[in-house]
Amino acid sequence: MRILVVEFVTGGGMPSDAAIPASLAREGDLMLHALLADLLEVPGVEVAVTRDARLPPLTVPVHSITITDPRESWSLWEDLARQADGVWPIAPETDGALERFSRMVEASGRRVLNSGADAVAVTSSKAATAAVLSAAGLPVVPVWRLGAVAADGPPGNGPLVVKPDDGAGCIDTRLIRDHADWRGWLAEADRSGFVVQPLQPGTPASLSMLCCDGRAWPLTANRQTVSLSGGRFSYSGGIVGGMALSPALTDLARRVAAALPGLFGCVGVDVIVGPDGPTIIEVNPRLTTSFVGVRRATGLNVAAAVLDLSRDPPVPPPPVARIEPVLLTLEG
């Protein structure tokens, strides 16, 4: 089986007129190398990878295609996708990158080893995701689109969190404490495309799970390290498997998959775990940073499990027998 892997940041997705941010390249490489390590253990699998010429070459035994001009990346990816049996993108939802990639692969007639493009379209919008999950009776943090919010801010008296509707991680995520913060934030830049949520008290966490045809197999519950400095949130890793996979979290995972049956393969669900249980922040329809520690935490070759789910009929993953917490840090 020939598999094309494209990690967006390191594989040609970044503009050519600026340096690739070191933090993004490091995070991308962590995910890429973890995925390649899993795939290279699967018998009969050949892997091709695209690599931005501005970064050090890969040292793992894969077919690496160097991209010297990122303006040509999309046409090259399309050509390479047609030569593959399956395509595994690791791309952000921001600016529609993951949806565009998924639709491109689907149009080529090849198997995308990721969530379907329609599911990606929904989950790329925090507002749309909240609407779908709320309609299914799931506990979600309310999301208000900026255009629907009064000039003095959303309803309620508590602090707010503002972020891009299609954002990834904590990029451009801010805490708004009062009306002065709100007015100042609005005046800083064009805020179209942003959403607003009430600040949810509790412990930041995520679920790493596998999905197929409306079913979910939770793998780990991860404690996230999210810090706040100068009103800005940042994510720097956490502990994969650092939280018990409680019945409430397991049930939540299964209900998310049922509400979004187009989710496939590796999926992450960001939650806040409070005294009344978990509340959903967003759904990531793709391999997330926590993937880097899931193999060590569970002993499961996750990539092999995804390939098994892509069979006809799908082969469910084996149950996770043990979880050993793994510290994950994104700091250099």
* Beta carbons of 283 and 129 less than 8 angstroms apart: yes
Q: Considering just the CA atoms, what is the radius of gyration of the chain in Å?
A: 19
Quick: pLDDT tens for 96-125. Answer: 999 999 999 999 999 999 999 999 999 999
Quick: pLDDT tens for 153-167. Answer: 676 677 999 999 998
Quick: pLDDT tens for 193-220. Answer: 999 999 999 999 999 999 999 999 999 9
* E strand or H helix at 6: strand 2-7
**pLDDT at site 152:** 67
Helices (H) and strands (E) in the chain, counts: 9, 15
**Coil/strand/helix, residue 111:** strand
**pLDDT at site 155:** 67
Cα torsion at 232, 288, 73, 122 (round to 10°)? -80
Please state the rounded mean pLDDT for residues 129-153.
89
CA distances from 292 to 10, 39, 181 (A): 16, 13, 36
What sign has the CA pseudo-torsion 291, 127, 252, 223? Answer: positive
* Distance in angstroms (rounded) separating the CA atoms of residues 36 and 257: 26
Q: Where does 167-320 show beta strands of DSSP type E?
A: 174-176, 194-198, 203-212, 215-229, 232-243, 265-274, 277-284
Mean pLDDT of the chain: 94
Percent above pLDDT 90 for the chain: 90
Given a cut of 70, whether residue 245 has pLDDT beyond it is: yes
Percent above pLDDT 70 for the chain: 98
* Distance in angstroms (rounded) separating the CA atoms of residues 93 and 197: 19
Task: Please name the amino acid found at residue 15.
Answer: P
* Beta carbons of 317 and 305 less than 8 angstroms apart: yes
* Distance in angstroms (rounded) separating the CA atoms of residues 231 and 161: 10
Residue 138's φ and ψ, nearest 5 degrees, are: -85, 150
**pLDDT at site 331:** 73
Q: Which residues on neighbouring strands pair with residue 327, listed in sequence order?
A: 239
Given a cut of 80, whether residue 322 has pLDDT beyond it is: yes
Quick: pLDDT tens for 27-66. Answer: 999 999 999 999 999 999 999 999 999 999 999 999 999 9
In 3D space, the residue among 245, 288, 283 whose CA is nearest the CA of residue 34 turns out to be 288
**Coil/strand/helix, residue 230:** coil
Given a cut of 70, whether residue 176 has pLDDT beyond it is: yes
* Per-residue confidence band for 293, with pLDDT thresholds at 50, 70 and 90: very high
* Distance in angstroms (rounded) separating the CA atoms of residues 64 and 82: 16
**pLDDT at site 285:** 97
Please state the rounded mean pLDDT for residues 277-305.
97
pTM above 0.85? Answer: yes
